Amino acid sequence: MSTPSILLIGAGGYLGGPVTQELFANRSRFNRIAILTEESKKQKFAEHEAEGFELVLGAFDSPDSFKGFDIVICMLGNHAMKCQPAIIDAAMAAGVTEFYPSEFGSDIGRGDYLTNRYFRDKHITRQHLRNVAKKNPGFNYTFLITGGFIEFALLPLFGMDVDKHTFTFYGPPEKQEALTAVHDVAKYLVESVFLPKSPSQERIFRIPGGNYAWKDVVATLEKVQGVKYTCTYHPRQDAIDAQKACAEKGDVDGELAFALKSLMGDINAVSVPKPWDNDKFSFKPATLEEAVRKFFEDLKRGEDKLARDFPMPSQS
């Protein structure tokens, strides 16, 4: 598979932007680069098509959509993540040999991450991949464990307001979070395609840009923006209570958001445990300050609007 053919799902989302850019920059290394979508969404990918991306118009659960591709990269958001088991079955039936599920976040295989409501569909997908791989020795999959995206840590949905210069958190200021700039997530993804396979069929790369305390994220914003932030640190239990209240009234998005906040505020929860695999890659990830500066430059050019307007945290 020296020049593999790669198929993207969810390419028009937040992560899809940097990933399609990075693939485009590396297009000579691929035989085909294609986006799977349906007829009704064709217009959404007109620019991609003009750039030379192939569009496959088909259903997620039909093997026909996957024929001729070696690798599938799935970048579906929260509400579509439950489709992944059917996608995996269709990809497998069509002869795909490498599958990247929509992970791109914390290491959910341990501790409270195993049971937190927020990651339910990611766990179902992991289990499905393991079952499929057991029955199909030629089928491999890769988890890209990046920690949170730095750009997402700057959003109101994580308690940060970069306009009002406030931060609200359900835990102590010293709590650390593994964070990576989204453009580096895309670089890790594309480079990982060309790294050796794992003999066990399951390949995991733990590749955060760094571990940062929330008080350091605030301090970096203060430095870059030249302003002082007002911070409110609630007891973590408040997020746990809010999660329960949302669940009781059927507010799924609220339930998910507070489930995530309560985990992020837990001083004992390590989102990406070491050892990390960054040394297997050819580049150094951006530091928190570099990524924050880029975030504001992109904002000025209107390029990170999508992240700021995001209604709901993805399963990070």
The footprint of ligand NAP (CB under 6 A) covers 10-16, 37, 41, 44, 75-77, 79-80, 102-105, 148-149, 152, 314-316
Task: Return the closest-CA partner of residue 33 out of 57, 62, 5, 60.
Answer: 5
Q: Find the shortest distance in angstroms from Cβ 221 to ligand NAP.
A: 17
Residues with Cβ within 8 Å of residue 134, at least 6 apart in sequence:
none
Q: Find the shortest distance in angstroms from Cβ 305 to ligand NAP.
A: 13
- Measured from the CB atom, the residue of 35 and 246 that comes closer to ligand NAP is 35
Euclidean distance between CA atoms 167 and 165, whole angstroms:
7
Q: Find the shortest distance in angstroms from Cβ 151 to ligand NAP.
A: 8
- Measured from the CB atom, the residue of 146 and 243 that comes closer to ligand NAP is 146
Q: Find the shortest distance in angstroms from Cβ 41 to ligand NAP.
A: 5
Euclidean distance between CA atoms 78 and 259, whole angstroms:
14
Q: Find the shortest distance in angstroms from Cβ 212 to ligand NAP.
A: 13
Q: What is the CA radius of gyration of the chain?
A: 19
Backbone angles phi, psi at 136, to 5 degrees: -135, 95
**Residue type at 251?**
D
- Measured from the CB atom, the residue of 14 and 276 that comes closer to ligand NAP is 14
Euclidean distance between CA atoms 298 and 281, whole angstroms:
25
- Measured from the CB atom, the residue of 97 and 314 that comes closer to ligand NAP is 314
- Measured from the CB atom, the residue of 196 and 311 that comes closer to ligand NAP is 311
- Measured from the CB atom, the residue of 152 and 295 that comes closer to ligand NAP is 152
Q: Find the shortest distance in angstroms from Cβ 8 to ligand NAP.
A: 8
Backbone angles phi, psi at 177, to 5 degrees: -135, 135
**Residue type at 8?**
L
Euclidean distance between CA atoms 78 and 119, whole angstroms:
9
